[in-house]
A and B are shown apart, each in its own frame.
Chain A
């Protein structure tokens, strides 16, 4: 088997005002071909106005096995949320 064509992750901005969103991947020899392939595969019906491609092996991801430790503070630090603080109703909306 010859060398494998690299894998690229594809991100698309559906329209201005929204951020780019991951939608899948394509194989391509370089970034120029990756953009072309991404356009053909993922935007045949006006799904986007802008495409990013990133080589898949360039992405570093958090480990799902450690997600409890990594994301724990969101649950224990409840004082980060507005509802933690008692404000009398008379004060009005705050």
Chain B
């Protein structure tokens, strides 16, 4: 994953009417915008923010799953989970690399995350309490991510679109390995089935929140749509996700924890109950169960790795100096 409906980017921009109209005309012709092209400051700022949040989400998303690598029930599951978590690290790196083309540095982004200033998807501030959660995350969280990311493959900003194409190729494995875990539990002993149901109960609503605030409350959505950074509204994507996922839960014999959920024969869509937006905002703003741990873990990993980064740079410098000395001696 995992870009949430973008949180709080300022898309206001001060360029001349002509400049903006010429830019919009390029967008409307479905031309891709590349890093050195002229672009409105608001477009650049929105993308730096969105790609940054997306990258941070991939990286922080490694933590709840990494928590279970040593406790995976079989070697097969452990190998799959390791590969998945490694993929998420890769996703973070593709995205940081896309953001860097816009002139923001990796260190700047890392500092913002570690200082708790950068946002990331609210879903990762929930704890992974049981093994079933690893299955549910692959199924629901990566499933929601896929819904979000497929349209981003057509984003107007070239480097972001290209990064998304790579990411999307890898997500299907994530979702399938998750669903397989849940399926094994759902078909297992009554205790295992209870575990699967409990996990679905806890992750269903937070997964729906991954699509971001409702369209009516999503302030910067419209500008992002006009600039073709995003192609579908938060609510549309959420609806697609529900329509795809409810039958998958039924197949497993699990119950989606929404008493108001019903299928509307006329529209062909599921209708869902009210989402608890207070919880959403609380978690986004740092009040989730795991916010503090996630940032503390990232900070520890960064600090513990400092000597490696320093040593690698010192070694590179030494090699360079030695090479230069050899060249000089040869002259």
Q: Which residues of A contact B (CB under 8 A)?
A: 1-5, 7, 23-30, 33, 40-42, 44-45, 61, 63-65
Q: How near does chain A come to B22, taking the closest CB pair, in angstroms?
A: 13
Q: In the complex, which residue of chain A has the Cβ closest to the Cβ of B93?
A: A41
- Complex-state Cα separation, A75 to B319, whole angstroms: 49
Q: In the complex, which residue of chain A has the Cβ closest to the Cβ of B173?
A: A45
Once the chains bind, are A24 and B97 in contact (CB under 8 Å)? yes
A40 — which chain B residues lie within 8 A by C-beta?
A: 86, 90
Q: In the complex, which residue of chain A has the Cβ closest to the Cβ of B94?
A: A24
Q: How near does chain B come to A7, taking the closest CB pair, in angstroms?
A: 7
Which residues of B271-299 are within 8 A (CB) of A? none
Once the chains bind, are A26 and B93 in contact (CB under 8 Å)? yes
Interchain CB contact (< 8 A) of B106 among A4, A42, A45, A65? A4
- Complex-state Cα separation, A27 to B309, whole angstroms: 11
Looking at A2, A25, A44, A61, the one whose CB has the most chain B CB atoms below 10 A away is A25
Q: In the complex, which residue of chain A has the Cβ closest to the Cβ of B314?
A: A29
Once the chains bind, are B312 and A29 in contact (CB under 8 Å)? yes
Given A24-B94, A30-B316, A41-B94, A64:B38 Cβ within 8 A: yes
B201 — which chain A residues lie within 8 A by C-beta?
A: none
SS class, residues of chain B in contact with chain A? helix
Once the chains bind, are A41 and B313 in contact (CB under 8 Å)? no
In the complex, 19 of the A-B residue pairs with CB atoms within 8 angstroms, ordered by the A residue number, are A2-B309, A3-B313, A4-B107, A5-B312, A23-B166, A25-B100, A26-B93, A29-B312, A29-B313, A29-B315, A30-B319, A41-B93, A42-B90, A44-B83, A44-B87, A44-B170, A45-B169, A64-B37, A64-B38
Q: In the complex, which residue of chain B has the Cβ closest to the Cβ of A47?
A: B166
Chain B positions 308 through 323: 1 when the CB is less than 8 Å from some CB of chain A, otherwise 0: 0110110110011000
Interchain CB contact (< 8 A) of A33 among B37, B38, B169, B312? B312
Q: How near does chain B come to A26, taking the closest CB pair, in angstroms?
A: 7
Given A26-B93, A26-B97, A2:B310 Cβ within 8 A: yes
B163 beta carbon closer than 8 Å to chain A: yes
